[in-house]
Amino acid sequence: MNDSSRRKAVHPRPTPADLPLAGPGSDPASVRAHLAQADPRTLLMSLTHLTRNPEYLTRFAAVCDPANVESGGARPEADELRDLLTAVLTGEHPAAADAGPMPTGLFQQMASTYAHEPVDDEFIPLLLDQCGFANLPGTPEAPAPDRPRPPEGFHVVVIGAGLSGICAGVKLGEAGYSYRIYDRNKDVGGTWLTNIYPGVGVDTPSHFYSYSFEIMPDWPEFYSKGSYVLDYLHRCADGHGVRDHVTFETEVLSCAYHEATGRWLVTTRGPDGVESTEWADAVVTAMGFFQGSVRPDIPGLDDFAGPAVHTADWDPDIDLSGKRVAMIGTGASAMQVGPAVVDDVAALTVFQRTPSWIMPRRKDDLTVSDGARWAMRHVPYYAEWFRFITYWLASDSNFVRVVVDPEWTMPDVSVSAASEAMRQWLLAYAREELADRPDLFDKAIPAYPPFGKRILRDSNWYRMLRREHVDLVTSPIERITPGGLVTADGTETPADVLILATGYQVLPMLDKIRITGRGGAELADVWGFDDPRAHLGLTVPGFPNLFVLGGPNSAPNHGAGVNIISEAQVHYVLGCLSLLHERGARAIEPRQDVHDAYNEAVAQALEQRVWSHPSVRSYYQNSKGRVVVSNPWRLVDYWSMMRSPNPEDHIVS
């Protein structure tokens, strides 16, 4: 990010030029008091980054030892480094503000110290870009793409104004493109606008689930509620002028490619029912993986006498107070809504088909301290380094746990030694949480390996199950009556309200839009009902200048990182368009043989991933069991693939 774009940022970040601190609360005593609440590992990175003194990494290495992080140890070292950083921030000790870009070797040494393990060379470009360091003063220089300005009148249509659509709008605008975003909702925000069920929030660390170019210092919790995420997206869209390019309450009905002009004719329908058309030189779909709620196919559901509400279509006026509530499902939304409503209801019966693996709570209070938020706002490099550790611990560090070891001796329950260690850790947590309820433990533990399905973060799920007025039912639901549910064992459970936490439609992808490419070929026919494939998860032969953000096999299901995927794919889109302009061409699409070879590589890699385990059935798979959602590689691998399109892999005409 260059200096001019940083000045326009919605969330400006401190730099060495802002030192020494000035204004109220900048005296040494006040600064030291703030730092007392901030993370000492991250403070060590800021101190080293500001002073360029690598000796601090050895001197204070104990604060980065995971044992000390968990126990709150290494107090003498932590106190001393806080004193030193206070001196730097207040001007008592000078920072290395004019030293030029930091040597990459020192940056890598800092990352390895913080992670408490080696951070290899391959990660450095991703860290500079995705942790917000790129071209920030005093950090290693990262190459910026030298892209040509788009031709006058070159117009892009984006479908969807959620996380990916807003990102596309920001980057298209920065690159000088004319663009228009269409969204069926009344505002920007995508899933964070439409999902309003109780307890909705991120299960990815908030400081990571955000844009690298808009690192926000004021997340109130490490895993923030949906309203805060939505507010963040609103401010990003407004601050970068994206909202001015969005047409709301409008559905895209079709996109038809015209070979004679090399343009797409996009047909939309507005809130008044009137259809309109618009020409576009490129189309970017940014509709996300989830395309609406899935209601369970259970006999009698429509006959239920009380309210039956899906988590994806939550009615904010529904009153659960004192009601007997039956919740169907134990996935991600159930994991949040159940604990959020348990105190309000008279009885909560949870109907489970398959249990989920649950990540332990790090601590009961997940509120970000005032001191940590102060450090995010005032201490140079603190926010960027904290984002680094959330990526490192929540994303690619998990990858080893999803890779199948063909020599592993316990293939029924895990896929490798790392997978088994993960399983034992999760089991130990469940035993601790359910120590007095062995009946629940037997019901709540999955039979498939960890990460086979989406792994979930505990939001008091186990503690909710232990409540006296909560019951967990594993017998299949046979039918629903006007007054309750009947299971296969003959038991009838009375209910006043049904909560359907039964998931979202993933397949068929893009089925709401008729997309027609070269020769009149329809994408729905090319993909079939549930067998989509794309080159790099993004482009399809025969459909020039069409880019599918969040397309087939592009989800990082080994950990957090949807935000990285979105930014990487948008970066690749801009690279493809730049290639067009450089060659004076109109159309770009992947070669069929390149597309096929890539998808064969995906298939071979997925055979050695936990998502293909024979015990697993999930929304990652299509009706034949082929994994169509998950990306089989690390985030760093996929991010690297998306740096620049290979001209030889494409037909450019």
Q: To which H or E segment does residue 325 belong?
A: strand 324-328
Domain-by-domain residue ranges, the chain?
3-144+370-394, 155-188+242-292+506-652, 301-357+407-500
Q: What is the pLDDT of residue 215?
A: 96
- Cα 636 to Cα 391: distance, rounded to the nearest angstrom: 11
b/e 71-106 (16+ beta carbons within 10 angstroms → b): eeebeebbeebbebbbbbbbeebebbeeeeebebeb
Amino acid (1-letter code) at residue 324: R
pLDDT tens, residue by residue, 221-270: 999 999 999 999 999 999 999 999 999 999 999 999 999 999 999 999 99
The residues, any chain, with a CB within 8 Å of residue 184's CB and separated by 6 or more, are 249, 250, 251
**Residue that the structure tokens 């399809």 belong to:** 540
Distance from C-alpha of 530 to C-alpha of 628, rounded to nearest angstrom: 8
Across 249-312, the runs of DSSP E, i.e. the strands, are 251-258, 263-269, 275-280, 282-285, 308-310
* Greatest extent of the chain over all pairs of C-alpha atoms, in Å: 76
Q: What is the pLDDT of residue 291?
A: 83
**Backbone dihedral angles phi then psi of residue 156, each to the nearest 5 degrees:** -120, 135
pLDDT of residue 94: 78
What pLDDT, on a 0 to 100 scale, did the predictor assign at position 2? 35
Residues of the chain with pLDDT under 50: 1-7
User: Is there a common fold for 155-188+242-292+506-652 and 301-357+407-500?
Assistant: yes
Whether 610 and 402 have beta carbons less than 8 Å apart is answered as: yes
Q: Which overall architecture, per CATH, does domain 301-357+407-500 show? A: 3-Layer(bba) Sandwich (3.50)
Using DSSP bridges, classify how beta strands 263-269 and 275-280 pair: parallel, antiparallel or unpaired: antiparallel
Residues 6+ apart with CB under 8 A from 439: none
387: tokens are 């984002």
pLDDT at position 3 is: 33
Collapse the DSSP code of 396 into the 3-class scheme (helix H, G, I; strand E, B; otherwise coil) and give the result: helix
Looking at domain 155-188+242-292+506-652, its CATH architecture is 3-Layer(bba) Sandwich (3.50)
Q: CA 261, CA 157: separation in Å to the nearest integer?
A: 16
Q: From CA 284, how far away is CA 307, in angstroms rounded?
A: 38
Q: What is the pLDDT of residues 140-156, one digit of tens each?
A: 877 777 889 999 999 99
| CB-CB contact of 627 with 609 (8 Å) | yes
Handedness of CA 9, 13, 19, 22 (dihedral sign): positive
> Which helix (DSSP H) or strand (DSSP E) does residue 234 occupy?
helix 226-239
Six-digit token pair at 100? 């030029």
